[in-house]
Amino acid sequence: MNKHFAVLSLLFLSIAISAGIALGMGASTQMPDIRIEEVKAYISPMMSNTASVFMKITNTGKGSDNLIGASVDMPSAVVELHDVKDGKMAAVKNIPIPSEEVVELKPKSLHIMIFKIPKETKAGSEFTLKLKFERTGERVLKVKLEEPMSHMPMHKH
């Protein structure tokens, strides 16, 4: 009798595990679907060896994501995610990218700052920008550095 009980217990356990795995596969986490458009980088008219990067990040997926970092292929450059609050620019740890929304990085708002750009870097120079998303992973973009926008709104640092 104990042998039959053990066999039945193993059979039920196997069925339960299989059903759990099958249910888990069907109920996968909602994933983000990130697209990046209209990427622009401008030399700062206020600070030397500095640039601002703007873009539209579209998430057409059902899951949210976070932009958690960025880097560039320029020696000694420092890249930070920024926001502007009460007219003052400040570094932020991440930029939330909600599901089914567009997040615009733009002047006087969320943006990316590049500090300590090599002195020989001028308008027209191209660089690689790597964006790191919490769930989506890394996205690599080629970006051309442009002259400052004549109408670029200023903020306090």
Q: What is the CATH number of the domain that holds 41?
A: 2.60.40.1890
100 and 57 Cβ atoms separated by less than 8 Å: no
Radius of gyration of the chain (CA): 24
Are 24 and 86 contained in the same domain?
A: no
| The model's pTM | 0.78
Ramachandran quadrant class, 57 (left: phi over 0; alpha: psi -120 to 50; beta: rest)? beta
User: Do 43 and 107 sit in the same domain of this protein?
Assistant: yes
Same-domain pairing of 105 and 77: yes
- Three-class DSSP labels, 54-122: EEEEEECCCCCEEEEEEEECCCCCEEEEEEEECCEEEECCCEEECCCEEEEECCCCCEEEEECCCCCCC
The pLDDT, as a whole number, for residue 5 is 53
Q: What are the average pLDDT values for consecutive 10-residue runs of the chain, which has 157 residues?
A: 55 53 53 96 91 97 97 96 93 97 96 95 95 97 90 49
| Same-domain check for residues 6 and 75 | no
Report the domain count for the chain.
2
Boundaries of domain holding 23: 1-29
Interatomic CA distance for residues 116 and 59, integer angstroms:
31
- Residue 157 counted as domain residue: no
Residues 25 and 102 in one domain: no
Residue 18 covered by a domain: yes
Structural domain contains residue 151? no
Q: Are residues 13 and 84 in the same domain?
A: no
